[in-house]
Chain A
Amino acid sequence: MSDARYWASAAALEGILDRLAAERTLIGPVRRGGDVYFRPVQRAADLCRDYVNALEPPKRWFLPTPERLARYRLPGGVSVPGGDTPRELVFFGIRSCDVAGLAQLTRFFSGETVGRPDVADGPFMARRERTTILSVVCQDPAETCMCVCCKGGPALDAGYDWQLTALTSGWLIEVGSAKGRELTTRFASSLAPAGERQLAEQAGRIAGVVESFHRHSTRRVQSMAAGRMVSQGRLPEAFWSALGERCVECGGCAFVCPTCNCFNVVDAPEAGSGVLPPAGGPEPAVPGGPVATGAEGTFERIRLRDSCQLAGFVRQYGGSYPRATCGERCRTRFFHKLSWQFVARVGTLGCTGCGRCVQVCLGGIGIDAVSQRMTDALVGAPAAAPAAKGA
C-alpha cells in the first residue's frame, strides 16, 4: 500500500495533465460512439471521465503488432538503420486490472519470472521504462468485469506510479514508485496531503464496488476450485475436447488479455516488396518468405502478437503438432491462467479479471464460463457434463 497520499482538485489535476501532455505523449480514454479507446490526446479536456474499460488493452503500446525488430539487407546481412525511438508516454485512466497485467508482462519480459535478467526483452523494457502510469481506481465496472476474484482491482497496492481515485470533490492520489514521487515533487504546488475524510471516502467507494460486485454480478473467476482441478490434472480429456468444440480459434482471448505474452517473430521482405512465393514450390509460412539462399533486397524481422490457442503457433518444422487438437491447446491456456504451478512461478494468477476474453469470445468460453465448468466438475454438478450444449 502506498505510504504517500495526496489530494488534488479536478482543476489541479487537469493542469498537471496538460503540462504532461505538452512535454510527453499523454494517452487516455476518448469516446467514439458508445465505445472508449485509449488514444493520445493534446490536452486533458479531450479525455472522457465516465467510462467503463476499453476493449483494447494497454499492452498494445508496449507490444505493438506488427513491430519491426530489425532491418537488414541481403546479401551480406548488413543492418539497415531505421526504426523509432520509444517516446515518453504518460498513461492516464487505465484500470487496475490492466496495471496488474502490465506488471505481469514486465516480470515476464524483464526475465524476472525465469530469474534471467540477461534475457530481458529490449524493445518492451525500453517502452516500459519510458512510461508513466497514472491509473484510476475503477468505480464503473463493466458487466463482464471480475477483478475482485483475481486481486486485480478495483484498487491495487503496487504497479502504478500514481493511483488516482475520483472523489466527490477532486482526486485522491497514491504514490507507488520513484517515478511517482518525482511527479509529486514536481507538482507539489498543485497537491495537498490527503485528509482523513478523503481517505475514508476512498475506502467507502472501493468497498462499495466490491460489495456491488458480490451482490449483483453473476460472473466469477472461480480461481480456487478451478485452480485445484486444473493444477491436479483432474479434468478428463472429454472436458477439454468439449471446450475445443466451442473454440473457433480466433485468438481474440489472447490478443486482448492484459497478461498474455505469446508472440511470433518472422523474417520477411520489407513492406511493399510485392514478392510472390515461388510458384509450384512449398508454400512459405510468411508472404514472400522464407528468405531463400541468394535472396536480395531489404528484409525485416517483425514481431506479431500471437496466441497459444492457434494450431500454427504450436506447429513444429516438419509438420508435427505437439498440441494437435484445439482442446489440448485450451488445456494449456487455462493451465497458464489458473494453475497453482503458474502462480508459484509467476507470483499471481494469469488472469486479472478484466473480462475482455468474455467479451471477445465467439464460442462463449470466456474464463468465467470455463472456471464455472471446472468448479461444476469438482462438485459433480450436471452442468459439467462435457457434452453440455449452449452458452
Chain B
Amino acid sequence: MSTALAPADTAVNLTACPFCGSGCTLTLADAEAFPVLGDPVTRGALCLRGWSAGELLDSPLRVLSARMRIRGSPLAKAPLETALDHAASRLAAIRAKHGPASIGILASARLTLEELHLLAGLAHAIGTPHLDALQRLGTVPGPSLGLDAIALAQGILVVGTDLSVRHPQVHRRVLQALGRGVPVRFVGANAGPLATLATEWIRRLPGREVEAAVLAARPDDLVLWSSELALHGQGGPALRRLGGAHSWRLPDFVNQLGLQEAGIHPRAGGLAAYEMLQRAAAGQLKALLVFADDPFEFFPALAARAFQGAEFVLVTDAVATRAAEAADVVLPGSLLAEKAGTLLAADGSRRAIEVAHVARAGMSEGEVARRLAAALGGKAGPAPRAAAFAPGPDGAAPDAPTPDYPLIAALDGATLWSTHPLVGATVTARREVWGPRTDFPDGWVTIHPAAAKALGVRHGWTVRLESDCGGLLLAVRTDPHAAPGTALVPMHCWERAGTALGALEVDPCLRIPVFRPRAVRIGRQ
C-alpha cells in the first residue's frame, strides 16, 4: 500500500469503473477512486462498487506473476515468458492433434474494445469458431439510448429490474424525472426503492413482467429493462416485444456492448460460452482459454467438470479466481485502470480510457492474446467481422403457481454482484454484498416474512425448497422486499438450485443459461 503514502503523481488520469455497464468515468488519486463532476454519466456520483474500485489495485487477490502446473503438479510460479511459451506449445499440440475447433475462447466484458478485437484475432489465428463470453448473459441485441433520453421522457416504464442495484446512474436520473413530475411506472415482483417511489407499481410474478409491460406501455413511454428479464427466460419475448425505438436494454457489465461490437457471440458453427463448458465437461473440447472471467462464478459444478475434462486450460486475469486456481497456466492480466483503450458505454458511445495507475503486472489480456496469436502462426491480418447474432425461438414459458407448489422460485437480482470476481477482490464492496454469504455459507432462499410466518419457519432455519423435479436444502432469509408468493434464490446458488428444481435451462433464443421461474413449495426440515 505504499502508493497511498507517497502520492507523487501530479497527473489526473481518467479511467472507467470496471463494474456495471453505466460507463462511469473515475479518477484514481493514488489508490483512491473519485468520480468526475464534469463526466456526463457520473456528474460526480458513483455507487459503492465505483468508490471501491481503487481497492483492486493492491488487492491480496491480485495475480502479479505467472503460474503453471505440469502433469498434474500444483500450480507453481513461473517466469512469464516460460508460461506463455508453454501455453502456446500446448495449444499448438492440441490443435495439431484434434483440430482448431477443439479450442474454445471465453472473453469478458472487462476487456477493452481493442482487446476484444485481439481475442477475435486470436480465434481467427487458431482457426476456431468457438468465441463467446459468459458476460454476454442476458445481453439482448437492441438499440442503445442515452441518459438524455430519460431527461426528455414524458413517461417511464421500468420493467423487472432494480435499477438502484443494477444501474445506479439510471436510477438517479429516474428519481430526478420523478421529481419533475414525470410519471414513472414499475413492473416487477419485488419491493425496492423504485417500486416504493414510483408513480405506479404493477406487481407481477417473476417471468410475467414482459407480458405486463407490453399491456402497460404507453406510446410516449421510455421503457427501461435489463438482463433480469433474459435471465428468467424472457429474452425472446423482451427482444421481440420490448425492443422498439423507445426501449433501452441496460447492459450489466462495463463493456458488454463492446462484446457485441467486437462480434463476441456464438458464430456460425461456433459454441456459446455455456455450451463450451458443457462440451469441455464431456471431453469434446480439449482446450479452454479464459480471459478475465470466472466460469465458477455462476456455474461452479459445470466449470469444475469442464476444467477437468479439458486437456489444457489457460486463465489470464488480474485477480485470483476459482478458475485460476483450477487452470493449467495462469497469466497475470491488468485492471482497466492500468490500461488505455476504448469502451462502449451504456448509451453505445465510445469512451477512451487512460492509464490511471502504473500496471502492477507485466502484461494485459490483449497482449497475451496478441502474443498467442503470433506464436500460433495462423492467418495474418485482422479477424473477419462476425455476422450479427441471430436470435432463435423463445424458450419455455415460466411456471404458474399451483395448489401443491404455491410459490414461484426465481433469481434474486439484487445479489448480482455477490459473485463478481472484482467485487470479491475489494474489501468494502465485497463486505456489503457478501454479508449474507458469511451468515449463510450453504446458500439461502429469501421469502417474505408473512410467508415465513404462514409456513411456520423463522429466519435462519433450514428448509427444503422443492419443485416437481426435486429439491434442495437451504437456509431461510426473510426480507420484506421479497414479493409474497416468491422464493428468491441468490445468484451464486443459480446452478445448484436451478439443477435441483429443474429450472436451469438453455434459452434457445439467446443461447444462454437461464433460470426459468418454477413453481415450488417450502417444507420444514
Residues of A within 8 A of B (CB): 30, 32-35, 37, 39-42, 46, 55-56, 60-61, 64-68, 82-84, 86-87, 245-246, 248-252, 255-256, 264, 266, 268-276, 279, 281-289, 300, 302, 304-306, 310-312, 315, 319, 359-364, 389-391
Contact = CB atoms under 8 A, between A and B. Distances in A.
Contacts of B50: 250
B349 interface: no
Nearest to B181: A390
Contacts of A363: 172, 175, 193
A359 B432 contact: no
Interface in B144-168: 164, 168
Contacts of A41: 10
A251 B197 contact: no
A84 B47 CA distance: 31
A201 B431 CA distance: 53
B424 interface: yes
Given A266-B427, A311-B435, A67 B1 contact: yes
Interface stretch (B55-63, B80-88, B106-114, B370-378): B55-63
B441 A250 contact: no
Given A310-B432, A311-B435, A248 B171 contact: yes
30 contacts: A35-B38, A39-B11, A55-B37, A66-B4, A68-B1, A84-B6, A86-B5, A248-B193, A255-B51, A264-B431, A266-B427, A271-B62, A271-B360, A272-B63, A274-B61, A274-B64, A275-B61, A275-B320, A283-B434, A283-B437, A283-B441, A287-B430, A289-B60, A304-B55, A306-B428, A310-B432, A311-B435, A312-B435, A315-B431, A359-B43
Interface string B21-59: 000000101111011111000011111101100110111
B475 to A, nearest CB: 11
Contacts of B61: 273-276, 287-288
A124 to B, nearest CB: 12
Contacts of A251: 48, 51, 428
A274 B10 contact: no
A279 B321 CA distance: 11
Contact of A246 (B8, B175, B320): B175
Contacts of A302: 1, 427
B220 interface: no
B179 A362 contact: no
Nearest to A82: B2
Nearest to B438: A283
Contact of B439 (A30, A319, A362): A319
Most buried by B among A42, A250, A302: A250
Contacts of B102: none
A66 B51 contact: no
A356 B246 CA distance: 34
Contacts of B437: 283
Given A56-B29, A61-B7, 12 more contacts: A60-B29, A65-B32, A65-B54, A66-B4, A87-B6, A248-B47, A271-B57, A271-B64, A274-B67, A283-B441, A300-B1, A302-B1
Contacts of A311: 432, 435
B171 A362 contact: yes
B38 A250 contact: no
Interface string B324-348: 1100000000000000000000000
A65 B31 contact: yes
A391 B179 contact: yes
Contacts of A66: 1, 4, 31, 54-55, 58, 427
A176 to B, nearest CB: 25
B73 interface: no
B180 A271 contact: no
Nearest to A83: B5
A270 B60 contact: yes
A360 B47 CA distance: 9
B168 A248 contact: yes
Interface residues of A, dominant DSSP: loop
Interface in B418-442: 424-428, 430-432, 434-435, 437-439, 441
B158 to A, nearest CB: 14
Contact of B30 (A64, A255, A272, A281): A64
A221 to B, nearest CB: 19
Contacts of B36: 33, 35, 55
A29 to B, nearest CB: 11
Contacts of B402: none
Contacts of B278: none
B302 interface: no
Contacts of B260: none
B363 interface: no
A245 B1 contact: no
Contacts of A389: 178-179, 197, 199
A39 B32 CA distance: 13
A286 B45 contact: no
Contacts of A305: 32, 428
A68 B4 contact: yes
B301 to A, nearest CB: 12
Nearest to B2: A84
Contacts of B426: 287
A319 B438 contact: yes
B343 to A, nearest CB: 18
Contacts of B425: 287
Nearest to B178: A390
B169 interface: yes
B453 interface: no
B507 to A, nearest CB: 29
B458 to A, nearest CB: 14
A217 B63 CA distance: 50
A359 B44 contact: yes
- Of all A-B residue pairs in the complex, the 9 with the closest CB atoms, nearest first, are A390-B179, A391-B179, A68-B1, A84-B5, A272-B64, A312-B431, A271-B58, A64-B4, A390-B178
A83 B2 contact: yes
B10 A68 contact: no
B519 to A, nearest CB: 30
Contacts of A34: 37-38
B89 interface: no
Contact of B46 (A60, A252, A268, A285): A252
B45 A40 contact: no
Most buried by B among A246, A310, A359, A362: A362
Contact of A245 (B43, B54, B193, B438): B193
Given A249-B432, A252-B46, A252-B51, A274 B4 contact: no
Contacts of B525: none
Contact of B32 (A46, A64, A271, A281): A64
Most buried by A among B12, B325, B427: B427
Contacts of A362: 45, 47, 164, 168-169, 171-172
Most buried by A among B1, B8, B12, B30: B1
A160 to B, nearest CB: 22
Interface in B375-415: none
Nearest to B321: A276
A61 B32 CA distance: 10
Contact of A391 (B8, B48, B175, B196): B175
A300 B55 CA distance: 14
Contact of A35 (B37, B48, B322, B427): B37
A286 B320 CA distance: 14
A250 B45 contact: yes
B42 to A, nearest CB: 9
B37 A64 contact: no
Contacts of B176: 364, 390-391
Contacts of B65: 272
B320 A282 contact: no
A310 B215 CA distance: 38
A230 B287 CA distance: 63
Nearest to A365: B175
Given A245-B197, A255-B51, A272-B64, A64 B44 contact: no
A305 B196 CA distance: 31
Interface string B280-291: 000000000000
